[in-house]
Structures are given as structure tokens and as C-alpha cells.
Structure 1
Amino acid sequence: MLKIGIFGVGHLGKIHLSQLVTMKDVEVVGFYDPSNANAASVAELYQIPRFTIAEELIQLVDAIDIVAPTTLHFKLCEIALRNGKHIFVEKPMTNTMDEAKTLVKLVEEANVKFQVGHVERFNPAFLALKSYNLKPMFIEVHRLAEFNPRGTDVSVILDLMIHDIDIVLSIVQSTISRISASGVAVMSDTPDIANVRIEFHNGCVANLTSSRISLKKMRKMRLFQKDAYIGIDFLDKKTEIIKLKTPEDEGLFTLDIETNSGKKTIAIDNPEVKQSNAIRMELELFRDSILQNKPVAVNVIDGLQALDVAHQILQKIGKNQSTPTS
């Protein structure tokens, strides 16, 4: 039985808690949240003890789940690591790069399981492509959300775009050669909308747009590679592959088109998207990594790399905003 404590029971924290309390081989020992309003509703609904001192809860558990504001991530992780506890921490891993680099060292020294909550890795639409050979040379991403004051303690880069940064880094097996970025703070003190171009040494280019001031929601990624187009709708959980037909594509819907080099046959594939709960899946994998001593699904280096790119983007945006125009 894995004894776990949850830190932060706001909107997302409550979702985590609802999954953990019904999970096999998991005992939720208690929760920590400085908000009396959050604490009262959770304590009443789940009959789980509230702790007002983080260290006291950490001492009583094997692992902690951090769903607190980003600014608190490092402090909570540091205390847990120094006590040899396993950690699941929501993205972004930390608020600053210095904190992230320190965490990497602490995780190595503590020799514990440390998983970062990049939940889109477990989106059913993305998982449907697990067996497909992804080698994109151009990636187009749009992640748009309606304005919500929750989450505006960090920029749209760390709030929304970091999901897509992590996915792109996991797909493109190459190092980054250049980053271009622009962004604007509209409703908050940090960028609310941003457009980013990431160029990789293998020639792949990723164009990412994120906004939290949109009138509609959108979470789409389009991958273009030799002989194929792959569309992923993270919001509606749909995946589509349009490619040049091969002998293995018998049974798929096909379409003939005329090109300058003659007739081509296009095959359209809609891989089966098995419905699942992405948050539950990532938490179950975290549990299994501890109880079965397996590697975590998204490790501390993955979290560091995504955060590093995010901060490079923020620096580019800051530099562009401070550059006078003639």
C-alpha cells in the first residue's frame, strides 16, 4: 500500500484527489492547503485529515502529489526529497531554471521516483499514435483557451504552451538550433498570447501558438512528414492520418489524386482512440513506478528540458518587447 499526501486541493488538486481515493494500493493520508475554503469542502467530502504544516504530512507518507501553485513547487519538492519521499509534481516542474537544476541534483541524490505532470502525453488522441513512426519535419500547434484568472500567476508559456513544448520535444529526436518568439500581455501581467517558432538541427520546424484570451477552445497539433499528414485533436480526442497508400493500407478509405508526377493514391486512417482518463493514467503509472520499481513516465530531465525551452521563449519575448522600434 502506497501512502500518499496531496499538496494543493484547488480545481486540479480536487481532480487528482478524486482519482487517488479510488485507486488500488493507494492510501491518501491527508492533504495540505492554506485555503480554508478549499480545505473545508475537501475535508467534508472525503473525510481526510487536513494538515497546516507541510513537513508534518510529508513525514507520514511514502510519496507526495504536488498540485499547488508553481511558486511553491520547489520548496515542497526540496523538503520531500530531503526526507527521501517519492514525488509527483504538476507542470511546470518549478518556477525558475535555477530551481529546476537544483531539483535534478536532489532527485539524483535522493534516488527516489520523481514524475512531472505533463498530462497531454496520456491524452487518448496522442496515445493512438504510439505504434506509428512519427518523424515530422513541420509541426503546427494551436492551444487556445478562454480567459480564466486561475493560472495567471504564470505566463501562457508556462501555463499552456509547455504542454506542447513537452510533446514536441518527445517527438522530435533532435536538438534545437533556434527559437523565435513574440507575445503580448493583455489581461494579466505576463504574456497571455504567444507565437513561437522552434527550429531543430535535423531540419524540423515547430510553430506553436497559445492563447488564454480566446473566445473558443482549441487544442490541435498537425504533423507533416514525408508522405504523411497527422492531425491530433487533444480536445475532442480525435486522430487522423492522411498518407500515400502502401500495401499495408488495405481496407482503409482511399482517394486518387492527380499530381505533376502522375496519379497518387491517398489512404485515410483514423486510428482507434481508446477513451481513458489521462490524469488517472499518469497517477497510476506513478504508483506503479514506486511499487514495481519501474522508470517513471515523465522524468525530471523531461521536466527540465521543457522548462528550459519555455524560459528561452520567455527571454525572447522579453527581449522583443524591450527593443525600441524606429
Structure 2
Amino acid sequence: MLKIGLFGVGHLGKIHLSQLTNMKDVEVVGFFDPNDSNASSVHDQYDIKRYTSAEELILAVDAIDIVAPTTLHFQICEMAIRNGKHIFVEKPMTNTIDEGKTLVKLVEEANVKFQVGHVERFNPAFLALKGYQLKPMFIEVHRLAEFNPRGTDVSVILDLMIHDIDIVLSIVKSTISRISASGVAVMSDTPDIANVRIEFHNGCVANLTSSRISLKKMRKMRLFQKDAYIGIDFLDKKTEIIKLKTPEDEGKFTLDIATNSGKKTIAIDNPEVKQSNAIRMELELFRDSILNNTPVPVNAIDGFQALEVAHQILNKINKGQGSSDQQ
């Protein structure tokens, strides 16, 4: 039985708690949250012990799940690592680059399991592409949300866009050559809307737009690669592939199109999207990695790479320079 302690029982923390309390081979020993209102509602509903000392909770468990504000991530992670505890921490893994570098080093030295909560990796629409060869040369992303004061302690880059940064970095097998960015703070003290262009050394270009002041929600990614277009709707859990027909596409819907070089046959495929709970899946994989001593799906280096790019974007916006080259 894996004993887990939860840090933070706000909106997302309660979602984590509901999954953990119904998970096989997991015992939620207790939680830590300085907010009395959050703590009371959780104690009344789940009858789980509230710890008033972070260190006491860490010492009582095998692993911790951190859903606390980003500014507290490093402090809690460092304490847990130094006590040899396994860690699941929500994205972004830390608030600063220096904190992230330190955690990567500490994790390597301590030999503990450390998973970052980049939940879109487990979105059914994205998982439907597993086994399909993704080699995009252009990526277009729109992640739009209605304004909600919750989460505005960090910029839209660290709040929303970091999801797509992580996905893009996991897909594009190349290093970054240039970043251009612009963003505006409208409702908060940090950028609420931003557009970013990431250029890779292999020629791929990713154009990302994120907003938390939109009138409608949207979470779409479009991938363009040789002979194919792939659309991923993270919100509505839909995936489509439009590509030049090959012998493997027999039985799929096709469409003939006249071009200057002759007739082309397009095959349209909607891969099966198996409905699942992404948060539950990532937490189950974290559990399994500890119990079976297997690698976590999103490790400290993955989390740090997304964090590093996010901060490079923020630096460009804050300095007003708009772009930078990388070697």
C-alpha cells in the first residue's frame, strides 16, 4: 500500500483527492493546506487528517502530491527529496529556473521518483495518436480560456501555454533556434494573452497563442507534416488525420482532388478516442512507477525543459525585445 500525502486542497487539489481516495493500492494519509475553509470542507467530506506541519506530513508518507501554489513547489519538493520521498508536482514544476535546476540535481542524487503534472500528455485526443508517426514542420496552437482569478498568481505562459510547450517539445525531435514572443497584461499584473513563435533547428515552426481573457474556450493543436494534417481538440476530445492515401488506408473515407500534377486521393481518418480521466491516469502511472520501480512518464528533465522555454518566452515579453536566437 502506497501512503500518499496531499499538499493543497483547493479546486484542483480536491480533484486529485477524489481520484487518490478511490485508487487501488493507495492510502491518503493526510493533507496540508493553510486555508481553513479548504481544510474544513475536505475534512468533513473525506475524514482525512489535516496536518499543520508540512514536515510532519512528509515524514508520515512514502510519496507526496503537490497541488499547492507554484511559489511553494520548490520548498515542499526540496524538503521531500531530502527525506527520500517520491514526488508528484503540478506544472510548472517550480517558479524559477534556478529552483528547477536545483530540483533536477537533487532528484538525480536522491534517486526518487519525480513526476510533473503535464496532464495534456494523457488527454484521450492526444493518446489516440500513439503509434502514429508525428514529424510536424508547422504547428499551430490555440489555448483560450475565460477569465478566472484563480491561477493568476502566474502569467498565462506558466498557467496555460506551458501545456502546449510541453506537448510541442515532446513531439519535435530538435533543439530550438529562435523564439519570438509578444504578450499583454490586461486583467492581472502578468501577461494574460500571448503569441509565441518557436523555431527549431530542423526547420519546424510552432506558433502558440494562449489567452485567459477570451469569451469562449478553445484547446486546439494543428500539426502539418509531409503529406498529412493532424488536428487535436483537447477540449472536445477529438482527433482527425487528413493525408494522402496509402494502401494502409483502404476502407477509410477518401476524397479525390484535382491538382496541377494530376489527381490526388485524400484519406480522412478519425482515430478512436478512448474516453479516460487524464488526471487519474497520470496519478496511476505515478503510483505504478513507485510500486514497480519503472520510469515516470513526465520526469524532472521534461518538466524543466518546458519551464525553461516558458521563462525564455517571459523574458522576451518583459524586455519588449520580442525575439531571441539560441545556439
TM-score category of the 2 structures, normalised to the smaller one? over 0.9
CA–CA separation in structure 1 for the residues paired with 2:261 and 2:320: 44
Please give the alpha-carbon distance, in whole angstroms, between the structure 2 residues aligned to 1:216 and 1:41. 31
Please list every run of 5 or more consecutive structure 1 residues that lacks an aligned counterpart in the other structure. none
- The residue identity in structure 2 corresponding to 1:65 is D
Q: C-alpha separation between the residues in 2 aligned to 1:140 and 1:261? A: 28
Local SS of the residue matching 2:219: strand
- 2: CA distance, partners of 1:165 / 1:10: 25
Aligned to 2:68: 68
Matching of residue 11 in structure 1 with residue 11 in structure 2 = yes
1:271 equivalent in structure 2: 271
How many residues of Structure 1 are paired with residues of Structure 2 in the alignment?
323
How far off is 1:320 after superposition?
A: 1.1
Counterpart residue number, 1:164: 164
- CA distance in 1 between partners of 2:86 and 2:116 (Å): 12
Q: CA deviation at 1:52?
A: 1.0
Report how far residue 322 of structure 1 moved: 10
Amino acid at match of 1:280: R
Distance 1:320 1:206 in 2: 20
Q: Which residue number in structure 2 is paired with residue 78 of structure 1?
A: 78
Report the 3-state secondary structure (helix = DSSP H, G, I; strand = E; otherwise coil) of the residue aligned with 2:301.
helix
Note if 1:130 corresponds to 2:159: no
Structure-to-structure mapping, 1:243-262, within 5 angstroms: 243-262=243-262
Q: What SS does the aligned partner of 1:301 have?
A: helix
Alignment of 1:8-157 (within 5 A): 8-157=8-157
1:277 CA drift (Å) = 0.1
For 1:134 and 1:101, how far apart are their aligned partners in 2? 29
Question: Does the aligned pair in 1 maintain the 2:141–2:209 contact within 8 Å?
Answer: yes
Shift of 1:237: 0.1
1:184 equivalent in alignment to 2:188: no
State the Cα distance separating 1:319 from its structure 2 match: 1.4
Distance change >3 Å, CA 322–CA 157, structure 1 → 2: closer
Q: What aligned pairs does 1:268-307 form with structure 2 within 5 A after superposition?
A: 268-307=268-307
Q: Structure 1 residues 297, 322: closer, same or farther in 2, change over 3 A?
A: closer
CA–CA separation in structure 2 for the residues paired with 1:156 and 1:142: 13
- Structure 2: segments with no counterpart, 5+ residues: none
Distance 1:178 1:130 in 2: 28
C-alpha distance after superposition, 1:146-180 (max 9, x if no partner) = 00000000000000000000000000000000000
Instruction: Output the TM-score relative to the length of structure 1.
Output: 0.98
**Match of residue 215 from structure 1:** 215
Instruction: Give, in whole Å, the separation in 2 of the partners of 1:119 and 1:276.
Output: 12
Q: Separation in 2 of the partners of 1:181 and 1:246?
A: 39
Q: Deviations over 1:78-102 (max 9, x none)?
A: 0000000000000000000000000
Between the aligned partners of 1:264 and 1:24, the Cα distance in structure 2 is 52
- In structure 1, the partner of 2:314 is 314
Contact 2:182 2:322 in 1 (8 A): no
Distance 1:264 1:2 in 2: 56
Residue 209 of structure 1: SS of its match in structure 2? strand
The answer to whether the 8 A contact 2:30-2:51 is kept is: yes
CA RMSD of aligned residues (A): 1.0
Name the amino acid aligned to 1:113.
Answer: K
* Equivalent position amino acid for 1:5 in 2: G
Identity of aligned residues (%): 88
* 1:173 aligned onto 2:173: yes
Deviation at 1:260, TM superposition (A): 1.2
Deviation at 1:246, TM superposition (A): 0.2
The whole-number CA distance in structure 1 between the counterparts of 2:188 and 2:128 is: 36
SS in 2 for 1:92: coil
Q: In 2, distance between residues paired with 1:233 and 1:139?
A: 13
Q: CA offsets per residue over residues 168-218 of structure 1, 9 Å max, x none? A: 000000000000000000000000000000000000000000000000000
Q: Distance in 1 between matches of 2:247 and 2:101?
A: 48
Tell me if structure 1 keeps the 8 A contact 2:194–2:210. Answer: yes
